[in-house]
Amino acid sequence: MSPSRGPREAGRASRAGPYVIVVVGILYFVLPLVATFEFSLSMLRGVWSFEAYRSVFSDERFRQTFTFSIVAALLTIVVGSLLIVPTAYWVRLRFPKLRPLVEFITLLPLVIPPIVLVFGYLRLYNSSSFLPFTGSANGTYVLLVFGYVVLSMPYMFRAVDTGMAAIDIRTLTEAAESLGANRITILFRVILPNVRAAVLSGAFLSFAIVIGEFVLASLLNQPAFGPYLALVGTNRAYEPSALAIIAFAVTWICMGLLQVAGRQRRKQPNPRRSIRSLLTLSRRARG
């Protein structure tokens, strides 16, 4: 054996290692999807068919609950961004010492189960309390969206905060101030456009969470997609698989549209930025 073969073989082995890991990873994520898809096609015995999908789409409740959840998700994203972006900005700019505390607070929803959160809500905001959110349909809906904002807070804050770390918030703020801009102008004209990719990736996660959320919607008795999925899942065999695939596809299409819409607002595309935001998105989607 020639002495030069050893290291070359070792190099080949170390190059194969990452591929193996990536392939295993892909299989881990893709196999269940493929299996679900395959199962959803086999409603009629002996043939592949979209019968399960036809059944799902013909169900009025599907359309209602899905629309309900999409609207709730979009509202969650808007309210969440309006809450998180200024907070993250303000903390970074003026109260950097408070950052660990704010980070801790935004992480709480990961530690406190939604069931606890919703019981807290019901206790605090019931129809005989000083803030009777649950006393009316609209109030309950508002409470649901607020609950979703809380659930998506850890992801939204992390995404936005990381985005802000990537640009020099302080100097950009001072530059805009010296040019005469007030705080609102700075936030909407300078800061928000520059953390757009981060807000989008936060929005993506919020969307995904809200579309599949069960506990909050179920206990607040809201006609959302999650409870509907659970209901169908307990009564039918093939439709739940079809629903899962549909929900998955719609989520991805919505995010693609968001990305395209966000990009078209610039006169000239900024290739570096778009690629970066896509990378962030896919990284987060995987993680």
198, 159 Cβ separation under 8 angstroms: yes
What's the half-sphere exposure (Cβ side, CA atoms, 13 Å) at 58?
Answer: 7
Does residue number 270 form part of the binding site for another protein (CB under 8 A)?
Answer: yes
Q: Is the CB of 236 or the CB of 276 nearer to another protein?
A: 276
Structure tokens at 73: 């998700």
Does residue number 103 form part of the binding site for another protein (CB under 8 A)?
Answer: no
Q: Rounded to whole angstroms, what are the CA distances from 227 to 64, 72, 223, 232?
A: 12, 14, 7, 9
The window from 96-104, 172-180, 201-209, 255-263 that contacts another protein (CB under 8 A) reads 172-180
CB of 57 to another protein, least distance (A): 41
Distance in angstroms (rounded) separating the CA atoms of residues 195 and 92: 13
Does residue number 187 form part of the binding site for another protein (CB under 8 A)?
Answer: no
Which of 45, 97, 123, 272 contacts another protein by CB under 8 A? 272
Residue with tokens 């805009």: 176
Q: Is the CB of 33 or the CB of 166 nearer to another protein?
A: 166
Q: Is the CB of 75 or the CB of 176 nearer to another protein?
A: 176
CB atoms within 10 A of CB 231: 14
The window from 64-72, 188-196, 212-220, 279-287 that contacts another protein (CB under 8 A) reads 188-196
Q: Is the CB of 85 or the CB of 247 nearer to another protein?
A: 85
Which of 185, 188, 223, 279 contacts another protein by CB under 8 A? 185
Residue with tokens 């900005």: 89
Q: Is the CB of 64 or the CB of 194 nearer to another protein?
A: 194
Which of 159, 176, 208, 219 contacts another protein by CB under 8 A? 176
Does residue number 190 form part of the binding site for another protein (CB under 8 A)?
Answer: yes
Does residue number 94 form part of the binding site for another protein (CB under 8 A)?
Answer: no
Q: Rounded to whole angstroms, what are the CA distances from 30 to 35, 212, 219, 229?
A: 9, 19, 32, 21
Residue with tokens 């086999």: 42
Does residue number 264 form part of the binding site for another protein (CB under 8 A)?
Answer: no
Distance in angstroms (rounded) separating the CA atoms of residues 213 and 73: 10
**Rounded to 5 degrees, what angle do the CA atoms 111, 114, 119 make?**
120
Q: Is the CB of 136 or the CB of 185 nearer to another protein?
A: 185
CB of 187 to another protein, least distance (A): 13
Distance in angstroms (rounded) separating the CA atoms of residues 152 and 177: 32
Dihedral over Cα of 244, 277, 103, 85: its sign: negative
The window from 49-57, 74-82, 151-159, 267-275 that contacts another protein (CB under 8 A) reads 267-275
Which residues inside 128-167 make contact with another protein, applying CB under 8 A? 167
Dihedral over Cα of 101, 105, 107, 112: its sign: positive
Which residues are at the interface with another protein (CB under 8 A)?
167-168, 171-172, 174-182, 185, 189-190, 193-194, 196, 266-268, 270, 272
